[in-house]
């Protein structure tokens, strides 16, 4: 389904669609797309990045403009998956972990922007593959919406909720919002099942 297709569906839903301009539909679709993709994590991408000499913290938003969150990292030199960990576990392992040098084996998602690598190389080392949850792209009219067909109603529910709120039809929008939440939860479960969770050990310390 394209953005144009979604707009046609919305126009057909609203009996008095003259109340809305084309931009109203386009903006609502994009806002909903941004939220649904961010909350569900259903767009997954891979990239190759270099290990940087003497660097512990990687600014992934700078390195990957559509980065939302890390899924897994593969060290191409050791041919092994790096293990996710937490600050608490690293502090228990070595209080000075931020200054440790050696083979990169662990990674720690610090926040929505930064990722820490343990240990850091002291010389040119090589690359790693990073698999990550990506943000929604800006949709052009004929761009395909990257939401599985079985869960397309999630975006539609968001848009109907949003447009009804704009028209101050709050009772209707609240009912539709409940449908949106339920469909989003189903999409989240589907997306999580597609990320091979066996590669993601529990981060709880």
Distance, CA of 22 to CA of 200 (rounded, Å):
43
Residue 53 belongs to a domain: yes
Residue 202 counted as domain residue: no
Domain boundary among 135, 163, 179: 135
List beta partners, residue 129: 48, 74
Assess if residue 201 is contained within a domain.
Answer: no
Proportion of the chain in helix, strand, coil states, percent, rounded to 5: 45, 20, 35
- State how many domains the chain has: 2
pLDDT of 205 reads 39
Name the nearest CA neighbour of 163 among 4, 11, 40, 1: 11
pLDDT value of residue 200 = 46
In total, the chain counts a number of residues equal to 205
204 inside domain: no
Structural domain span for residue 60: 44-135
Alpha-helical regions (H) of the chain: 3-13, 22-40, 60-63, 87-93, 153-166, 170-193
- Measuring CA to CA, which residue among 162, 190, 131 is closest to residue 26? 162
> Is residue 51 domain-shared with residue 130, that is, in the same domain?
yes
How would you classify residue 104: left for phi > 0, otherwise alpha for psi between -120 and 50, otherwise beta? beta
Answer whether 51's CB lies under 8 Å from 117's CB: yes
Do 126 and 90 lie in one domain? The reply is yes
Q: Closest Cα to residue 183, out of 159, 141, 153?
A: 153
Residue 83: helix, strand or coil by DSSP? strand
Q: What is the pLDDT along the chain (205 residues), one digit of tens a residue?
A: 999 999 999 999 997 767 888 899 999 999 999 999 999 999 999 999 999 999 999 999 999 999 999 999 999 999 999 999 999 999 999 999 999 999 999 999 999 999 999 999 988 899 999 999 999 999 999 999 999 999 999 999 999 999 999 999 999 999 999 999 999 999 999 999 887 645 444 433 3
89 shares a domain with 28: no
State how far the Cα of 127 lies from the Cα of 135, in Å rounded to an integer: 23
- pLDDT given at position 203: 38
- What is the pLDDT at residue 23? 93
């Amino acid at each position: 389904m394209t953005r144009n297709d979604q707009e046609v569906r919305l126009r057909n839903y609203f009996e008095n669609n003259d109340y809305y301009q084309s931009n109203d539909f386009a903006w609502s679709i994009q806002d909903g797309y941004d939220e649904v993709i961010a909350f569900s994590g259903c767009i997954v991408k891979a990239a190759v990045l270099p290990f940087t000499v003497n660097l512990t913290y990687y600014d992934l938003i700078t390195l990957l403009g559509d980065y939302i969150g890390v899924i897994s990292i593969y060290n191409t030199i050791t041919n092994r998956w790096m293990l996710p960990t937490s600050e608490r576990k690293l502090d228990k392992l070595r209080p000075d972990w931020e200054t440790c040098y050696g083979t990169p084996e662990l990674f720690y998602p610090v926040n929505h922007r930064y990722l820490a690598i343990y240990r850091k190389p002291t010389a040119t080392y090589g690359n790693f593959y990073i698999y990550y949850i990506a943000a929604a792209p800006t949709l052009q009219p004929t761009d395909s919406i990257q939401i599985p067909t079985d869960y397309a109603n999630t975006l539609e529910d968001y848009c109907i909720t949003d447009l009804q709120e704009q028209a101050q039809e709050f009772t209707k929008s609240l009912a539709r919002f409940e449908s949106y939440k339920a469909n989003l939860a189903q999409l989240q479960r589907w997306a999580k099942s597609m990320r091979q969770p066996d590669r993601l050990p529990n981060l709880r310390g």
